[in-house]
Amino acid sequence: MGQFVQFAINGLMAGAIYALIAVGIVSVYKATKVVNFAHGYLIMFGAYFYFTFAVIVPGQPWAPAWLASWQPGWMVEMRGELPMFSPVAAVLDWVANLPRILLGLFGALVCNAILGRIIERVLMRPLMGQSIFAMIMVTVGLISILSGAAQLIWTADAASVPYIAPNMPIRFELFGTMIFLFGTDLVNMAVALLLFGGIVAFVKFTKGGIAIRATAEDQSTAYSMGISVPKVFSRAWVLASTTGAIAGAILATRNGISPSLGLFGFSVLAIVLMGGLDSYVGVLIAAMVVGVLEAMTQWKMGGGWAEIVPYVTVLVVLVWRPHGLMGQKEVERI
Amino acid sequence: MTMNRRSFLATTAAATAATGTPMILRAQPKEYVLGASLPLTGPFATAGQLVAPAFAMAAKLFNDEGGIAGTPIRFVTEDSGYVPQNALNNYQRALASEGKNMIGYFADSTGAMKLIAPELKGENARIMGSTSFASELADPATHPYQYLSGPTYQSQFDILLQNIKNEGGQKVAFIFSNTEFGRDPIEHGRKTAEELGLEVVLEESTKAEGADIPTHVTKLAQSGADHCILQGYVTGVWPQLIGGARQFGLPVKFKGTFWGMEKLIADRITAEAGPFLEGYEGVMPYRYFYDREDAPRYQQYAELSKAMFAGTPLENYMSTWAIQTMCGLEIAMKAFRDTAEAGQELTADNIAETLANISDWDSGGFFGGPVSMENNAIGTGRVYGYNPEDGLFTPKSDWFTV
């Protein structure tokens, strides 16, 4: 039982990150009806922006030393001879990195928001009123552009970035089994769920959110009711890009940074289809189910199956409910 | 000029001498060519860009030594983007443009080697080395023209398992990427472990990128392994696995194979995440570049590097990836030269036969001593360990030959 709980928690932690990635795809779809195939690559850019501001900038000769590593006397003394992975050492190491972590997150948020805005303004808005298919094809083309641009700017070099939260080991006994957790994964999960909840609340309870929902129902009616549809489009892309920046930073801390991060978007696309393209709650459930299924399959059947079983489940769900678990069934009026 | 009897006879004699020259001399081109596909872009661009200068150095070195029996050799490198199909296209293009002058080719992956292998027939056959240590390629019956410039992954596992046995290890875990590269030595490793009396307590496959580290580390912790061999990774996953295990306080000793043993990567990880690679060991077929006291060939490389790459990071350190490429080129050159010196034409069949029979070769320090080709591979290597303080991999065992 203890082992079951261990792998379930591992799966939930992975699922929360899937959910944070998925929220961007759902937001853009809800507002514009465009399935953004390039979302994984927006996330990859978020990761690279985090890398730029948290690793490259602090490493420059002109950057102040405290930005790369803040080492006040009291902390150096406290750190002393502590073993590398002791909880206190992990917290102190994180505090030393805090200036560049904050700069990295701030830089990633701002730059990704600008990138999302540029994509929407230059590529998507001119296509407003045209077929949705054309806009979807533009996002497919964006994959090559973003992937190539990232390699041009940052090269294909793999690199690592500082953890967003203290990465201390957490151990406790449950049902006679020792449970191991990474501190930073728990914080990542909390951040992902908070952001997810925040976005759902924004869409449900704020004026801007209501505009997104109205536009999703019917663009022409939304226009006639005085809603600025271009603004809604823009807002949805910025929302997707900024959540993507956080998701990218978290992914980079877990997996290191490389152009292959963009591929995550495709596995998450399957999760979004399973949950329902226009349902935040459905996508959250689907992300958690896939995360837990992956962990459980890895535990019981090994890695070869872990890459198949969850996606077979996605297919089964889609056969059963073509619009996903909680997706809205589209009614064609003739 | 008027033609008289004397000049007619002289001209005729000269023409007869020219046309009567033995076939081998007539067939000898002005220069030989060795083509290569390198991943100058794509996911392994870093490795490709570090390896590319080795070809410039090889051209200078080999031609200063007299090329192949006095004929110079030219290296033609092209980008593959690490896509096997691109490497195949590059090969076919080089074959078409260079013709018989091209006597060898260098590919950048197992995939490229496998894709090009069926092309190596009759007139189109060329001797071919690569960056691959795939066990499947080390079989002259199925891949007569292809060779490995070191031990197969299976041999590398043999070396590591023997080393674990010598250290008193009892329970071993294999963690590998779910790729052909990762799976290559697993079954063989299981058999070798059994023969050595080691218990394989975990065989865990992971995604090649973006693996779920907590889950894998949890399974490693539950397995009770005292040693863990990592296979099928280059820059990612393996450091996170080691970092995760260290955080959990697992006393497991980690060992890697060739592609997880580059100093530049280990240094970068240490700089970013701290000295947690302390104690990490792995098998390396070659000496590291800084260990050149007993490696006269490395000393030559060092001098050339200083002259040719001054002001770049290559001036003082040659990556293990570049060393592997240089070793592959040295093996090819030895086969070319030995074939030419034996008075044979440089056909793929003649070169392949010479290469397969290389024995007791003094490589000038790449390996611990004279080595021989067996099944078109060189089954030797030793275990090195990483020290984060000085950023050096240093020997932890003697040279093993398997």
Q: Is B217 on the interface with A (CB under 8 A)?
A: yes
Residue-wise pLDDT for B286-301, tens only, equals 999 999 998 999 999 9
Q: What is the pLDDT of residue A77?
A: 83
Closest CA to A147 of A263, A49, A269, A22: A263
Only one residue has tokens 């501001």, namely: A53
pLDDT average, residue stretch B315-339: 95
Q: What is the pLDDT of residue A118?
A: 95
How far is residue A204's CA from residue A199's CA, in Å, rounded to a whole number? 8
Q: Is A149 on the interface with B (CB under 8 A)?
A: no
How far is residue A30's CA from residue A24's CA, in Å, rounded to a whole number? 10
User: Hey, is B400 helix, strand or coil?
Assistant: strand
Contact B272 A159 (CB under 8 A): yes
Residue B125 C-alpha, separation from nearest chain A C-alpha, in angstroms: 33
Closest CA to B201 of B189, B185, B213: B189
Q: What is the pLDDT of residue B5?
A: 58
Residue-wise pLDDT for B98-111, tens only, equals 999 999 999 998 99
Q: What is the pLDDT of residue B25?
A: 46
- Residue B236 carries which side chain, given as an amino acid letter? G
How far is residue B80's CA from residue B76's CA, in Å, rounded to a whole number? 13
Contact B273 A251 (CB under 8 A): no
Q: What is the pLDDT of residue B136?
A: 93
Considering only CB atoms, A151 lies closest to which of B41, B234, B269, namely B41
pLDDT at B2 > cutoff 60: no
Query: What residues does each domain of chain B span?
Result: 26-151+292-371, 153-284+383-401
User: Hey, is B74 helix, strand or coil?
Assistant: strand
pLDDT at B21 > cutoff 70: no
pLDDT at B26 > cutoff 50: no
Q: What is the pLDDT of residue B10?
A: 60
Mean pLDDT of chain B: 90
Q: What is the pLDDT of residue B323?
A: 96
A190-204, B64-78, B124-138, range with the lowest pLDDT: A190-204
Using an 8 Å CB-CB cutoff, list chain B residues near A178: 221
Q: What is the pLDDT of residue B130?
A: 94
Q: What is the pLDDT of residue A221?
A: 86
Residue B221 C-alpha, separation from nearest chain A C-alpha, in angstroms: 9
pLDDT average, residue stretch B51-58: 92
How far is residue A113's CA from residue A72's CA, in Å, rounded to a whole number? 34
Residue A308 C-alpha, separation from nearest chain B C-alpha, in angstroms: 12
Q: What is the pLDDT of residue B7?
A: 62
Residues of A numbered 8-47 whose beta carbons fall under 8 angstroms of chain B's beta carbons: which are they?
Answer: 10-11, 13-14
Using an 8 Å CB-CB cutoff, list chain A residues near B275: 84
Q: Is B218 on the interface with A (CB under 8 A)?
A: yes
Which residue of chain A has the CA closest to B223?
Answer: A299
Which residue of chain B has the CA closest to A55?
Answer: B272
Contact A263 B247 (CB under 8 A): no
Looking at the domain B153-284+383-401, which fold is it? Answer: Rossmann fold (3.40.50)
Contact B239 A256 (CB under 8 A): yes
Which residue of chain A has the CA closest to B277?
Answer: A84
Using an 8 Å CB-CB cutoff, list chain B residues near A7: 215, 218
Considering only CB atoms, B45 lies closest to which of A156, A159, A255, namely A156
Taking the CA atoms of B48, B51, B57 and B62 in sequence, report the sign of the dihedral they define: negative
Query: Which residue of B44, B174, B218 to mutate against A (max A Cβ within 10 Å)?
Result: B218
pLDDT at B231 > cutoff 70: yes
Q: What is the pLDDT of residue B24?
A: 46
Domains of chain A: 2-42+110-320 (1.10.3470)
Band of pLDDT at residue B23, cut at 50, 70 and 90: very low
Closest CA to B179 of B109, B94, B78: B109
Q: What is the pLDDT of residue B386?
A: 96
Q: What is the pLDDT of residue A334?
A: 59
Q: What percent of chain B has pLDDT over 70?
A: 93
Which residue of chain B has the CA closest to A300?
Answer: B219
Band of pLDDT at residue B114, cut at 50, 70 and 90: very high
Which residue of chain B has the CA closest to A291?
Answer: B212
Using an 8 Å CB-CB cutoff, list chain B residues near A260: 43, 209-210
Domain B26-151+292-371 is of which CATH architecture? 3-Layer(aba) Sandwich (3.40)
ipTM value: 0.76
Per-residue burial over B68-89, b = 16 or more CB atoms within 10 Å of its CB, e = otherwise: beebbbbbbbbbbbbbbebbbe
Beta bridge partners, A178, equal A173
Q: Is A69 on the interface with B (CB under 8 A)?
A: no
Residue ranges in chain A modelled with pLDDT below 70: 330-334
How far is residue A172's CA from residue B352's CA, in Å, rounded to a whole number? 61
Considering only CB atoms, B218 lies closest to which of A158, A180, A251, namely A180
Q: Do domains B26-151+292-371 and B153-284+383-401 have the same CATH topology?
A: yes
Q: How many CB atoms lie within 10 A of CB B253?
A: 18
CB A182 within 8 A of CB B244: yes
Using an 8 Å CB-CB cutoff, list chain A residues near B264: none
Q: What is the pLDDT of residue A332?
A: 59
